[in-house]
Amino acid sequence: MIRLDPDRDILCVTDVQPTFMPGGELPIADGAAVVPIINRLLSEVFEHALATQDWHPTNHASFADSHPGHAPFSTVVMPYGPQTLWPRHAVQETSRAALHPALRTARLEIILRKGFRRQIDSYSAFFENDRTTPTGLDGYLNARGFRRLFFSGLATDFCVAWSAEDAARLGYTAFVIEDACRAIALPLPAGGTTLSTAHAHLTRLGVQFITSDALAPV
């Protein structure tokens, strides 16, 4: 059992938006199932929480239809490196880009929008996909004194994984709450999936994978 420290621990709610759920533009299988689990964590377990929100302009460079001749889930090389191309999703000011209407937001102390720069994607809560342009979250967390970050939301193998990786590299203790996340799990040419690769990579960095029942309320 992990006993939480109200001065150091914060729940990170990643991209819990209808755009990533069945019926959305980039649906993740069983994506809506994270909402009740996260709501319990928000209302019964954590004293502090933040959320991220994917927030793209209509012509974002990560959209497949911004690259004629390229299909969704193919890869192109951008100035900052390889970029998976996605169906158009999380478009600013649309209802499916909003946080899920059933999400209990009263406990969220900050909502960080990412992916709003047209020419660069942003998976991590800490940096754009060039891995150098900061979102400002590191400064916020340091100013507040948080040192252990508990990640939930969508998707385990992309925005959750990149955020947990950057958290570990920045010196935080990072946890992924597996039952409060769902993955895209794209197959990879060399075998395995984006989920299995992310899990192995994060484990090497010291990120801990837990379930929500391992957390003792503050």
Indicate the average pLDDT of the chain: 96
Distance CA 187, CA 175 (A): 24
Neighbours of 42 (CB within 10 A): 21
Q: Quick one: average pLDDT of 119-138?
A: 96
Query: Is the Cβ–Cβ distance between 182 and 33 less than 8 Å?
Result: yes
Spell 143-154 as b/e; 16+ CB within 10 A means b. eeebebbbbbbb
- pLDDT attached to residue 12: 98
Q: Quick one: average pLDDT of 198-215?
A: 97
Q: Which helix (H) or strand (E) holds 50?
A: strand 49-54
Q: What is the pLDDT of residues 140-190, one digit of tens each?
A: 999 999 999 999 999 999 999 999 999 999 999 999 999 999 999 999 988
Is cis: bond before 64, omega within 30 of 0?
no
- pLDDT attached to residue 190: 86
Q: Quick one: average pLDDT of 19-35?
A: 97
Catalytic residue IDs: 15, 114, 159
- pLDDT attached to residue 217: 79
Tokens of 141: 């967390």
Query: Is the Cβ–Cβ distance between 112 and 123 less than 8 Å?
Result: no
Which CATH superfamily does the domain covering 2-59+88-216 fall into? Answer: Isochorismatase-like (3.40.50.850)
In the chain, where are the structural domains located? 2-59+88-216
Residue 218 has pLDDT above 80, yes or no: no
Q: Quick one: average pLDDT of 112-126?
A: 97
